[in-house]
Amino acid sequence: MPGKPLYPYGKPVISGLLKSAPEDFKVTENLGFEPRGEGEHLFLWIEKSMLTTHDLIERVASDFSVKARDIGYSGLKDKYAVTRQWLSLYLPGKMTRQETPDISEYKLLGQTWHDKKLRPGTHRSNYFEVIVRNVVVLPDTSLQQLDLIRSQGMANYFGQQRFGRQDDNVERALHAFTNNRRARKLSRSKKSLYLSALRSHLFNRVLSRRIEQGYWDKPISGDVFMLSGSRSIFYESLNDALLARFTQLDLSSTISLYGIGNRLLQNDALELENQVLADYGAIRQCLIQQKAKLAMRATRAVAQGLNLDHDPLKSTLYIRLTLARGSYFTSFLDHFLDTGKSKQLR
């Protein structure tokens, strides 16, 4: 049901293999702030591989003799990868350096204290170091697509991870939410996963429509804008200064993450979104019934510090870049490279 998104710079002309080994996919979380060094929450800087973030939380809870609900995290990191991320442990009245337990399933790289629990979406960005294999050539078409990503940004699609390995999270969500008995039996995490899949599907459909109609590299009347590197949104009529900032990637148009609230959109932007949403009455009804709260998401993401090294002898493409939280590396790749059935969803 989610369907294949439409990308703004043409179809990929090359293919490659992603995640042939965990070491080929490295992710480092950037909090964007320094823990205070005091407080009741012990921040742990951890490197893991072959564990989901939820698996990691269960291991840490056991190792440090705390309850899993007292452990905070900011971002969910891939299992089939080498990732570094922060966790927080609530340890009231214990602000001393903790004894490091005997750990074998992950690496504890550092620890410090802070006065607040780590919450989902707290971190600023993720830094990626990725090797894509079986990339024999890097033709001019691909280089041009990469140049366009640098100058115009990338389509900020939700990645396939949101929709499940079998691409069926949307169908599962509708099946669960249309029956009150089934809906009540959902765990909090499963309910959150399903609501995210529904909203992500609507967002991706609207973004594809904008790209299809040519509203990608320019704003349209009635747009609500989001500042790059920030979640701040604002409405302003189109003018030369706004268009210049848009071209410079200082801000981007936004699309609704559907739910209860005022969308703020007007004129052409509102009409375009309504035309797409009209085809998804069942999804909209589920989101309203489950009291999902409206939010806005930028149509574009910036690939900061994008750097590539292609080794034709080894047929490898080494990619380094930083993406703001909530943006997907796999969506970046989809702009210029087909990874086929790589292990990108593990």
Catalytic (active-site) positions: 78
What does the alpha-carbon distance between residue 89 and residue 297 come to, in Å, rounded to a whole number?
Answer: 30
Helix, strand and coil percent figures for the chain, each rounded to 5: 30, 25, 45
Q: Evaluate whether 93 touches 40 at the Cβ level (below 8 Å).
A: yes
Distance between CA atoms of residues 341 and 335, nearest Å: 16
CA distance 51 to 63: 15
- Give the integer Cα–Cα distance in Å for 153 and 63: 42
Other beta carbons within 10 Å of 289: 12
Q: What is the maximum alpha-carbon separation in the chain?
A: 61
Residue in this structure with the two tokens 């900020």, named with its chain if needed: 156
DSSP of 53-117: HHHHHHHHHHHTT--GGGEEES----SSSEEEEEEEEE-TT--SPPPPP--SSEEEEEEEEESS-
Q: Give the burial string for 84-99 (b: 16+ CB within 10 Å, else e).
A: bbbbbbbbeeeeeeee
